[in-house]
Amino acid sequence: MALNSTLNRVTQNIIARSAPTRRAYLDRMTAARSKGPARAHLSCSGQAHAYAASGEDKDQLSQATAGNLGIVTTYNDMLSAHQPFERYPDLIREAVRAVGGTAQVAGGVPAMCDGVTQGEAGMELSLFSRDVIALAASVALSHNTFDAAVFLGVCDKIVPGLVIAAQAFGHLPAVFLPAGPMTSGLANDEKAIVRQKFATGEVGRDALMAAEMAAYHGPGTCTFYGTANTNQMLMEFMGLHLPGTSFVTPNTPLRDALTRHGAQTALALSDIGNAYTPVCDILNEKAFVNGIVGLNATGGSTNLLIHLLAMARAGGIILDWQDFSDLSEITPLLAKVYPNGLADVNHFHAAGGLGYMIGELLDSGLLHPDTKTVAGGGLETYTREPRLINEDLTWQDGAGQSLNDKILRPASDPFQPTGGLSLLTGSLGTAVMKVSAVAPEHRVVEAPVRVFADQDDVKAAFKAGELTGDLVVVVRFQGPKANGMPELHSLTPLLSILQGRGQKVALVTDGRMSGASGKVPAAIHVCPEAVNGGAIARLRDGDILRVDAEQGVLDILTPGVSDRPPETADLSANQFGAGRELFAAFRQNVGAADTGATIFGG
């Protein structure tokens, strides 16, 4: 199948737009490669420090003749998605010893859970944690003693932060090793019903707690299709996972075999062999376009509309939201996974999963087939599935067809002809909306606004019965400069209740929503943000807004709003507590959401 003309046009636009910064980046990577890992050039004292605790690997390291693999881990045992990584360093060390190499844990990086911090002060550190992770991973690799790296990470800000760091060391090969989703527990839609009943007082906290514990019940990633699982999809579409790796459950023989093989693959791609494949060659403009197509085809998390911008810029590639919108227009929605449907990622994987989707999109000319990957060759390899046969890991052809058309459909008969994301522009500014889970009848809302500067005030107004009639709930001063751009996912149950009562309702905010959100239309990431004097700071209760995801419109219909001075907010309460005082430099230096909301020159 010939490449889709729009896909090709968007790609060529990105290449042209990025040419100066991409060239400068690649020149830096060439220079870094020429210096090579420096462990053989370290002083005797430096080498002794580096190898002192390496046990049986000490001789191999001191001879500097074998490949040395750096492990960057996000292990902690508070996050179910990251707890399985506790076992990985031993698996990895054994695997690389079997092929004559060595491996060392280069460093650990922080990993916080947005599910735990939703609606709490800690959520205001969440977005910034991505850049902290990038910094910490760079410190881990800064010893310059590694020939390749493996990155152990799964969740929301964690994989994007690791990708940013991997590109800072883009002359090294890297393989991303996931942990996999937890086995299916209480269905996500049943859990959502209990949450709504709790919000209206129909059930007590004991029922809510029982439902949550039944849903989040064991090791592995949460099973809905939020940011964490969207990250896993991206790593496969962009060639940094082994094929079919994303959704194999933890602590199984197949999962362990994939972990071992991934470690050996990373060393095999190093500069000491004949298959040198650094990160800078894998993550090119075509790889990022493939990732955006995957995001649209799966109805993935809106958080990636920020993260992909930051990830790309780390490699000198300049994306903008128009690229996402243009690709959304040509990408069919092939998957329905909660919150876009009733299935979870385990059901999606069983129905054919990413391998089937990649095959369908390749056959439709909607992916670049010729990208480099850690598996070698192009994306066609990613239509195959891993199998463990007599303890030998092998890849076989995938299903070739959907095994459940309520979850996964062919490109010729999609759930909808366009992707799951919409770009909105107008007199209020620029915003994005995840529309894959929003029913068509809810995608256009023209109504008076109720303006809030805090999500807790929205909840109080809801409890007081003030949110009546059709309305647009505006929550402002939630952008990256204001308070770190927290997710406002805890508003989802009450807004869903209003919508369920027959009200036309939308959310407009310069903050973020969770990757698990979607049924209520939410125009998010509004730029310019309120603290920068954006039009959202000029709104008053009763002004009329039009939020139109069908036509891509975000307009103020009330005359004279642009002539008002912008409102200001007392943000002093957001400056301290839960570590927020330590992040003042981030708030002062962060770029706008439409450039990745990053401190790294965004």
Would you list which residues are annotated within the binding site? Answer: 155, 222
3-class SS of residue 221 = strand
Query: HEC string of 282-304?
Result: HCCHHHHHHHHHHHHHHCCCCCH
Query: Residue written as tokens 């005797």?
Result: 44
Q: What's the DSSP call for residue 337?
A: B
| CA distances in angstroms from 32 to 38, 155, 391, listed in the order given | 11, 29, 39
Crossing angle of helices 227-237 and 353-363, rounded to 10°: 50
Give the separation between CA 409 and CA 334, rounded to whole angstroms.
5
Give the residue from 380, 224, 362, 405 showing the smallest Cα distance to 299.
Answer: 224
State whether the Cα torsion 280-285-288-290 is positive or negative.
Answer: negative
Q: Are 505 and 461 in contact (CB under 8 A)?
A: no
Give the separation between CA 521 and CA 510, rounded to whole angstroms.
14
Q: Are 19 and 11 in contact (CB under 8 A)?
A: no
List, as residue ranges, the binding site for [4Fe-4S] cluster: 155, 222
Give the residue from 564, 302, 309, 548 showing the smallest Cα distance to 425.
Answer: 548
Give the separation between CA 559 and CA 263, rounded to whole angstroms.
61
- C-alpha count within 13 angstroms, C-beta hemisphere, residue 221: 28
Give the residue from 152, 375, 355, 357 showing the smallest Cα distance to 242.
Answer: 375
Mark residue 138 as left, alpha or beta (left: phi above 0; alpha: psi -120 to 50; beta: remaining): alpha
Question: What is the separation, in whole angstroms, between the first and last Cα of the chain?
Answer: 37
Long-range contacts formed by 391-396: CB under 8 A, 24+ apart: 391/253, 391/257, 393/254, 393/257, 393/258, 393/261, 395/243, 395/244
Give the residue from 139, 149, 136, 167 showing the smallest Cα distance to 37.
Answer: 149
Give the separation between CA 38 and CA 46, rounded to whole angstroms.
11
